[in-house]
Chains A and B, each alone.
Chain A
Amino acid sequence: MKRAVVLTAATAAVAAAPLVVGTYYVLLMLPFMAYAVVLLGLNLLFGYTGLVSFGHALFVGIGAYTGAFITSRTTIRSLEVILLAAAALGALAAVPVAALCVRYVKIYFGMLTLAFGMVFYTFVLKFYRLTGGDEGTPFLRPSLLGHGLDAMPKIDYLTGPFYYYSLAVLGLATLVMWRIVRSPFGLCLKTIRDNPAKAETLGIGVTRYRFLAFVISAVYAAVGGALLGPPIGNVDPTLAYWTHSGNLVFMTLLGGFASFFGPVVGAFVFIYLQNWVMSVVPYWRLVFGGILALIVIFAPEGLLGLVTHRRPASARRA
């Protein structure tokens, strides 16, 4: 009940933000919403299945490049088409990666995902004619629900139609993930996270479930990645770089992987905190490194864990 109230208030605040908050802060909401989609998926793997991926920027990159290719190489501009194509390509790329990675756990899983991420990063960086190399590929303004909106000033487009479109995608992604974690499938993932050997004796095929969770998380990452493109207007390899994967894990830890909305909170705090720290000191990574250390030591359940504090002992399970 309390959660429903908080959730309604938060949604209302996000919906009202373009009307009351300055343009600059409204624009920062766009990457927040995109990352929130990515992290909802990543946490299915992290918080619910117990696998920490250091390579999910790969799928963010696939989503973003999908949008850039479609808008700059074809006449298609529809964001619906872009998001569907991103989801499909994210899943397609995830199948071989997941098939290999889910056979390993812990550090080996993490290192394998990192390796695949590096391969993809090098690919987009070096195949200049296909990807534009380090200059990237333009992500032209997509049409929304069949409306071209090309005549609209960019800021109005981003803080208006695109803002609410992103919010709707985030809302839909949240509802679908909410259902997944409360499904029989979601329960099986939790058994695997807690005790894979025991799960197997109950007839739960660990590898198959990890595989499915991985592919779903990749689809979310690709969809979120496609939403990251339009505000920047250009997609370059930094999106697929391994430090970007690290940021995703950081955001998840910051908000708290043990709760459903933890990563969403983490994305929000990360974006605004990063923006604020960058405006104060030139070394934001130095500050963020300190914050990460403090979180792991003093608040292993992240910010949401500090607020709710319902399951204190589960922090050390990972």
Chain B
Amino acid sequence: MMLRADGLTKLYGEFCALDNVSLTVGPGEFVSIIGPNGAGKSTLINILTGVTPPTTGSVRFKERDVAGIGPVRLARLGMARSFQLVQIFPNLTVLETLQAAVVSRLGRGTRLFASLASDREVQAGALEVAELFGLADQRHVPARHLPQGDKKLLDVASAFALKPEIILLDEPTSGVSTADKTAIMETLLAASKRVGLRAIIQVEHDMDIVFAYSDRIVALHQGKVLADATPAAILSDHRVIDTVIGRRARG
């Protein structure tokens, strides 16, 4: 098992954001976390990525306790993430953004006097990821000038450039047109094979995307796991349809 969360509870004062949530992700799995707003998805993601420690419970990644260890160490261990609200470096070009990730992965960030331009491994690594995500033509464009969809792609691409073993994508297709969503997912899956990614966890609201790509779906409701099953099993579970999916379809 790559990632195992056991009995996660998160209290904010009186409010229980997560109530005894357990979750496992194994090699080769694509797991989607779904649930209405306020179900605890963001809290769960923040705990799984080491940003916030759980009140009780544990998170183990590769048999290591990672609860609350912070994003920097988690990234070094091999877990990367992208954000719901797109996160870019506005003044850096596409290539510079990806180079920064490669520099970090290779542990070369404290090379004060080395030339970045003549570091072939960093240059090639960044270009490879740019090509995987179809961003090679815009490699010299500052990130702030990219269209919204490409900013989203760059955010995800920079996480991929870390060559992580597992990646958590917080709404990878939010704010993107329906037509572009499938394209983004296809790019993502193709890229994950190339960089040797072993598992993907995503939080996603678009049920078409969720059911088309997931191996397993974890449905959250009011801080609890309502269901944890394959897409086919979820579709035949009336509780989930009514509380999570149906509500969105009607709303």
Contacts and interface: CB of A to CB of B under 8 A. Distances in A.
Interface of A: 176, 179-180, 182-188, 190-191, 193-195, 197-206, 209, 212, 216, 311, 313-314, 317
Nearest to B75: A203
Interface stretch (B17-25, B84-92, B189-197): B84-92
B189 to A, nearest CB: 21
Nearest to B168: A201
Interface in B145-185: 155, 158-159, 162
B116 A182 contact: yes
Contact of B113 (A179, A190, A317): A179
Most B CB contacts (10 A, CB to CB) among A193, A195, A201 go to A201
Interface residues of B, number: 41
5 contacts: A184-B122, A193-B91, A198-B88, A201-B80, A317-B90
B109 interface: yes
Contact of B72 (A203, A212, A313, A317): A203
A184 B88 contact: no
Nearest to A207: B72
Contacts of B162: 202-203
Interface of B: 49, 70-72, 75-76, 80-81, 83, 87-92, 96-97, 99-101, 103-105, 108-117, 119, 122, 142, 144, 155, 158-159, 162
Contacts of A190: 89, 91-92, 96, 100
Contact of A203 (B49, B97, B105): B105
A268 B83 CA distance: 44
Contacts of B159: 201-202
Given A194-B90, A194-B91, A194-B92, A204 B104 contact: yes
Interface of chain A: mostly helix, strand, loop or mixed: helix
A60 B168 CA distance: 47
B72 A183 contact: no
Given A184-B99, A194-B92, A203-B72, 4 more contacts: A185-B112, A187-B96, A187-B100, A201-B75
B159 to A, nearest CB: 7
A317 B89 CA distance: 11
B91 A311 contact: yes
A179 B109 CA distance: 14
A202 B105 CA distance: 8
Given A190-B89, A202-B162, A179 B71 contact: no
A256 to B, nearest CB: 14
A220 B19 CA distance: 53
